[in-house]
Structure 1
Amino acid sequence: MSHNTWELLADKYEWVKKGLSAQSAEERHDAFYKSLEFGTAGMRGLLGVGPNRMNMLTVAKANLGFAKYLVETFKGKQLKVAIAYDNRHMSREFADVSAMVLSTFGIDSYVFTQPRPTPELSFAVRELGCVGGIVITASHNPKEYNGYKVYDETGCQLVDHKIQRVIELIEAHPDETTIDVEVGNRALIHDINENFDTVYKKAVSGIQLRPKEAKTLKIVFTSQHGTSYPIMRDIFVDAGYEVIVVKEQSNYDPDFTNTKTPNPEDKDSYDLAIEYAKQYDADLILSCDPDADRMGIVVKHDGSYVYLTGNQGGSILQEYIYSTRRELDTMPMNPIMFNTVVTSDLGEKIAHNYGVHVEKTLTGFKYIGEKIEAHNRQGDYEFIFGYEESYGYLLADFVRDKDAPQACIMVAEAANYYHNRGRTLVDVLNMLYDTYGAHVEMQVAITRAGSQGLQEIQDILTTFREGNFKEFAGIPVAYSEDFLTSRRSDGTDLNFPTSNVLKYTLTDGSWVAIRPSGTEPKCKFYYCVVAQTLAQAQEKYELLKHAVSAIAKI
């Protein structure tokens, strides 16, 4: 779309006028050289003017496609859509324009009156009997970003075969500048107020396995300026925990003023929370990302505060949940756990030890949500746990997305249970290493922004895809898997949807995986390294990382 076409809107929309005048030549090129991609994970990008930016018109265009998809898919049904949004710049405005566009198709929208967690949106879709849902969020991205995600009638993000039709309908209307975002029927737009929080909080509180266990744990909690406050505070208090909230990060601040980063995967995000923990001598720190679908853990162990990765948190949670359910005789007849192809193998080993069936999916919690629904319909397995290495967990399927509040209350329960017996979550992790072997799971991400960066990332994938590598750091490759062709090197069909992911499994049980991010200009390298001791695993990881980085030239 040309810059000139947008200039015609400058007199109608003040935000367009201001945005165009503020753009440098380089910014103008990036904002107009293509349309913002609506992919299998929805749409996420920098805020600003132009077709390659998140703004009122590009969001309206996405909603045109989604509205047409709903009308086409649910013919003859009452069409209701739930809409939630986070604390970011323009989130409320994008939620409003989404509802306005849907109303022009006769679709009722139920919009939260305040920023609310992404998992609560998934819950609302199911609870209110909606045919779909929308979340306005850029998750843990920097403040300059925002995003748009769509959900189906089960509360799950639209999977590939569904989202592809939405994409086709969006692309059928290429000119977003022709959309009037001020036209709509406000009679079809309804509020979801704070009373609904009570229903969601009750459901989350209900997942506790040992609600009567004496609460001796002291917790520091931060919402990173996002949507999990005050909901998570209330859940902790109702459960009887002593919780200290990081006050400076408990307001809905779109600039994330009092945190170095809102991403719980980044250790810098815990700096202020650790200061609180030291001041109050807290045992546990829990942090949610802004839209409250991811959760991070820091544990006081031997006088120091130890960060746990998403893989480690998932392994510890499984050990606690499965052992507790076995003890209480509440393990389902045919339990099933889901994780992804880039998640550590340690969790799978724990699950198998407790007789829990395991299925893997591609990266993206929508694939886990899809599998939950499929097995519920078939009645063959009962969902017990799902997680990703990227700090996303689900424990009960009244939500079909990763749910940080669920994870928070269960991590608190596990930590409290072990605390009452003189152990920390780090002690539990070390016990798992003693039982199943030491596992070092790491991720290295490189950022390559802009059109040139996108090409660099594609070149890295091509280098590995065409390299036919037989070893890394002297460790032979047992087999490789290319999820773009859905084939293993021995010719086996992987039976996954196609995705630009490569994975190399080594003869010692370690593996390396490579994939471009679906929401950020990044290429990610995943490592799962196995050895007898933690020191050996760490040393092996450094060698593998060096070998892979040399090939990728990073």
Structure 2
Amino acid sequence: MTLKNWERIAKDYPWIQDGLNSMSDHDKQDAFYKSLEFGTAGMRGLLGVGPNRMNLLTVAKANLGFGKYLVEEFEGQELKIAIAYDNRHMSKEFADISARILSTFGIQSYVFENLRPTPELSFAVRELSCIGGIVITASHNPKEYNGYKVYDETGCQLIDSKIAKVIANINENPDETLIDLNVGDTSLIHTIGEDMDHKYLEALKGIQLRPNDEKDLTIVFTSQHGTSYPLVPNLLESCGYKVIVVEEQSSFDPDFSNTKTPNPEELESYDLAIEYAIKYNADIVLSCDPDADRMGIVVNHEGSFEYLTGNQGGSILQEYIYSSRNELNKMPERPIMFNTVVTSDLGDKIAKKYGITVEKTLTGFKYIGTKIQEHNTKGDYEFVFGYEESYGYLLADFARDKDAPQACLMVAEAANFYKKEKRTLVDVLNGLYAEHGAHVEKQVAITRAGETGLQEIQNILKTFREDSPATLGGINVLMVDDFLTSKRSTGEDLDFPQSNVLKFYLEDGSWIAIRPSGTEPKCKFYYCVIGKTTELANEKFETLKNDVNRIAKI
């Protein structure tokens, strides 16, 4: 029936007719069997025709739900939101339809004049005293994707309880083909210009711990065709660093033509940047994903270029930040750090060494942003760091989402500081391993697209949940956290929102977590493996991975 509704209106929208004409039967089955859902980072999917695709009608439908939510939640207040978008296909069009749909509720939209980083949107929400925000982006996904993320009045992505209200409103309009796209009061739509860039840039400069140190660092930087250019190079250069931009990847190309992947989690995304680094003998390579919330690092160490994982980058940043704060008397009285249940334990050990409270959240920076707000309101702890294993970092809470520009500046400062001591960031990491034990963190993801793929992923979680293994890789399982039932296998309740995640704690201090992705058709397996040396930890990881794959039948 849904397909017939789209066919009915195809004559009014050439993009629908063209899309339907180009789709195979398999494509239609996947595009029409369900509607796009909100995951850990909002709504994200393939561009195309149908309710299970990102297009003008599905984005309009989402805005009808968000608009009603805003009107109900902020009755009697000034209704205004901020909107940003990235370089992807249809991003500007989705931002435009979002503003026009929201105007039908009497909501004013402040839309960036062109593409901007996701963390700058979070900053703008706070700076403009908005009641919410929207970012049109698919983050690090391939070019075929786009997405829609919604923010609350603190600049934090909406958490589950708030999203549930938005979804309930969205579901009141089950047939998106009945939505009129030719609506909107343009008098309620305003432009955000360079003034916000200047304010954000000054806030970024303010995170420096050693702003007056002499700079002796060469950085190769790539924006992966995304929104971090020219802001991040301008930021680094204004702070005294020598920056060499990968020019081929600095254009706002929605096809990502000059990068193998825009995802800094994937090693091949750095290939061209490393060619630059070799040519100019750079100290480090910094890479941001297209919407500039994630950042990856490659280090020139003893003549070779070594990649750092998100966990490793987070551990090094913490060691530098905490030791520097102590040295410079900039450590607050009651500091707190946030990370997630699938983030390495090495960061926890570093934080505790410096007397910093650690609090864990579910995966998704919205949970970290919410925790920051909670403790700010209580006045009991002061935020000093937040991070996820997936290359997301936050150092100062003028934004409430992961902030790659912040991370780039602090990594540069740390690398510059340690270079004066004749150490690279890899040397610092090895020192942390010597102190706390070698930690090898790996993520293994399987992709299973479509309806059958979704069922296969659900079956994997069901297998591990209903027939929980007593050993993994020959190591005893001490206990299991089930975040769906909010129970630990030893009987304690877990104080987390419900989520389809399992975490297995092993006798040797290692752990394994399993969760379906909230934004992609993937099942992710997270490993934190501890050994006396990295070689032994890697060997242990291979054994654990093989056993997990055997149980999961993958």
Residue 308 (str. 1) matches residue 305 (str. 2): no
- The equivalences for 1:328-367 within 5 A come to 328-367=328-367
Secondary structure at the aligned position of 2:207 is classed as coil
- CA apart distance, 1:38: 2.9
Secondary structure at the aligned position of 2:465 is classed as helix
- The residue that corresponds to 1:446 in the other structure is 446
C-alpha spacing 1:487/1:416, structure 2 compared with 1 (3 Å): same
In structure 2, C-alpha distance between the alignment counterparts of 1:108 and 1:40, rounded to whole Å: 26
Letter in 2 for 1:221: F
Secondary structure at the aligned position of 2:542 is classed as helix
Report if aligned partners of 2:310, 2:388 keep a CA contact under 8 Å in 1: yes
Letter in 2 for 1:466: E
- The equivalences for 1:190-201 within 5 A come to 190-201=190-201
- The residue that corresponds to 1:228 in the other structure is 228
Residue 133 (str. 1) matches residue 133 (str. 2): yes
Two-structure CA RMSD over aligned residues (Å): 0.7
Letter in 2 for 1:190: H
- The residue that corresponds to 1:285 in the other structure is 285
- CA apart distance, 1:10: 1.8
In structure 1, C-alpha distance between the alignment counterparts of 2:23 and 2:549, rounded to whole Å: 36
- The residue that corresponds to 1:489 in the other structure is 489
- The residue that corresponds to 2:551 in the other structure is 551
Report if aligned partners of 2:226, 2:291 keep a CA contact under 8 Å in 1: yes
Report if aligned partners of 2:480, 2:503 keep a CA contact under 8 Å in 1: yes
- The residue that corresponds to 2:217 in the other structure is 217
- CA apart distance, 1:37: 1.7
Secondary structure at the aligned position of 2:191 is classed as strand
Residue 267 (str. 1) matches residue 267 (str. 2): yes
C-alpha spacing 1:270/1:40, structure 2 compared with 1 (3 Å): closer
Q: Deviations over 1:227-257 (max 9, x none)?
A: 0000001101100100000000001100000
* Higher alpha-carbon deviation: 464-473 or 340-349: 464-473
In structure 2, C-alpha distance between the alignment counterparts of 1:39 and 1:255, rounded to whole Å: 24
Residue 459 (str. 1) matches residue 459 (str. 2): yes
Secondary structure at the aligned position of 2:38 is classed as coil
Report if aligned partners of 2:108, 2:189 keep a CA contact under 8 Å in 1: yes
Secondary structure at the aligned position of 1:407 is classed as helix
* Higher alpha-carbon deviation: 304-313 or 22-31: 22-31
Secondary structure at the aligned position of 2:377 is classed as helix
In structure 2, C-alpha distance between the alignment counterparts of 1:33 and 1:430, rounded to whole Å: 50
- The residue that corresponds to 1:69 in the other structure is 69
Report if aligned partners of 2:40, 2:363 keep a CA contact under 8 Å in 1: no
Report if aligned partners of 1:442, 1:528 keep a CA contact under 8 Å in 2: yes
- The residue that corresponds to 1:164 in the other structure is 164
Letter in 1 for 2:212: K
Report if aligned partners of 1:46, 1:144 keep a CA contact under 8 Å in 2: yes
Report if aligned partners of 1:40, 1:164 keep a CA contact under 8 Å in 2: no
Letter in 2 for 1:424: T
- The equivalences for 1:9-408 within 5 A come to 9-408=9-408
In structure 1, C-alpha distance between the alignment counterparts of 2:437 and 2:543, rounded to whole Å: 19
- CA apart distance, 1:485: 0.3
Secondary structure at the aligned position of 1:26 is classed as helix
* Higher alpha-carbon deviation: 298-307 or 37-46: 37-46
In structure 2, C-alpha distance between the alignment counterparts of 1:384 and 1:468, rounded to whole Å: 37
Q: Deviations over 1:129-181 (max 9, x none)?
A: 00000000000001000000100000000001111000000001111111111
In structure 1, C-alpha distance between the alignment counterparts of 2:443 and 2:281, rounded to whole Å: 31
Secondary structure at the aligned position of 1:503 is classed as strand
- CA apart distance, 1:123: 0.3
Q: Deviations over 1:431-466 (max 9, x none)?
A: 000000110000000000010100110010011001
- CA apart distance, 1:7: 1.6
In structure 1, C-alpha distance between the alignment counterparts of 2:535 and 2:237, rounded to whole Å: 40
In structure 2, C-alpha distance between the alignment counterparts of 1:378 and 1:323, rounded to whole Å: 27
* Higher alpha-carbon deviation: 229-238 or 529-538: 529-538
In structure 2, C-alpha distance between the alignment counterparts of 1:112 and 1:468, rounded to whole Å: 50
- CA apart distance, 1:194: 2.2
Q: What is the TM-score when the length of structure 2 is the normalising length?
A: 0.99
Report if aligned partners of 1:39, 1:167 keep a CA contact under 8 Å in 2: no
- The residue that corresponds to 1:410 in the other structure is 410
Secondary structure at the aligned position of 2:323 is classed as helix
Residue 433 (str. 1) matches residue 416 (str. 2): no
- CA apart distance, 1:418: 0.3
Q: Deviations over 1:2-39 (max 9, x none)?
A: 22211222222121121111111111111111112234
- The residue that corresponds to 2:507 in the other structure is 507
Letter in 2 for 1:185: D
Report if aligned partners of 1:31, 1:50 keep a CA contact under 8 Å in 2: yes
Secondary structure at the aligned position of 1:122 is classed as helix
In structure 2, C-alpha distance between the alignment counterparts of 1:229 and 1:41, rounded to whole Å: 23
Q: Deviations over 1:369-420 (max 9, x none)?
A: 0000000000000000000000000000000000000000000000010011
In structure 1, C-alpha distance between the alignment counterparts of 2:66 and 2:357, rounded to whole Å: 35
In structure 1, C-alpha distance between the alignment counterparts of 2:198 and 2:41, rounded to whole Å: 29
In structure 2, C-alpha distance between the alignment counterparts of 1:250 and 1:356, rounded to whole Å: 39
In structure 2, C-alpha distance between the alignment counterparts of 1:383 and 1:408, rounded to whole Å: 19
Percentage of matched positions with identical amino acids? 71
Secondary structure at the aligned position of 1:219 is classed as strand
- CA apart distance, 1:205: 1.1
Letter in 2 for 1:60: A
Letter in 1 for 2:492: T
In structure 2, C-alpha distance between the alignment counterparts of 1:150 and 1:535, rounded to whole Å: 43
Secondary structure at the aligned position of 2:149 is classed as strand
In structure 2, C-alpha distance between the alignment counterparts of 1:385 and 1:62, rounded to whole Å: 32
Letter in 2 for 1:305: F
Secondary structure at the aligned position of 1:202 is classed as helix
In structure 1, C-alpha distance between the alignment counterparts of 2:549 and 2:172, rounded to whole Å: 41
Secondary structure at the aligned position of 2:336 is classed as strand
Report if aligned partners of 1:225, 1:249 keep a CA contact under 8 Å in 2: yes
- The residue that corresponds to 1:523 in the other structure is 523
* Higher alpha-carbon deviation: 16-25 or 380-389: 16-25
Report if aligned partners of 1:40, 1:163 keep a CA contact under 8 Å in 2: no
In structure 2, C-alpha distance between the alignment counterparts of 1:495 and 1:469, rounded to whole Å: 24
- CA apart distance, 1:40: 4.9
Letter in 2 for 1:522: K
Report if aligned partners of 2:40, 2:364 keep a CA contact under 8 Å in 1: no
In structure 1, C-alpha distance between the alignment counterparts of 2:268 and 2:182, rounded to whole Å: 41
Q: Deviations over 1:301-333 (max 9, x none)?
A: 010000000000000000000000000011000
Number of corresponding residues = 554
Letter in 1 for 2:237: V
Report if aligned partners of 2:136, 2:149 keep a CA contact under 8 Å in 1: yes
Runs of 4+ in 1 over 6 A off after TM superposition: none
Secondary structure at the aligned position of 1:209 is classed as coil
In structure 2, C-alpha distance between the alignment counterparts of 1:466 and 1:348, rounded to whole Å: 30
Q: Deviations over 1:454-488 (max 9, x none)?
A: 01100100110011211111110111110000100
Letter in 2 for 1:138: A
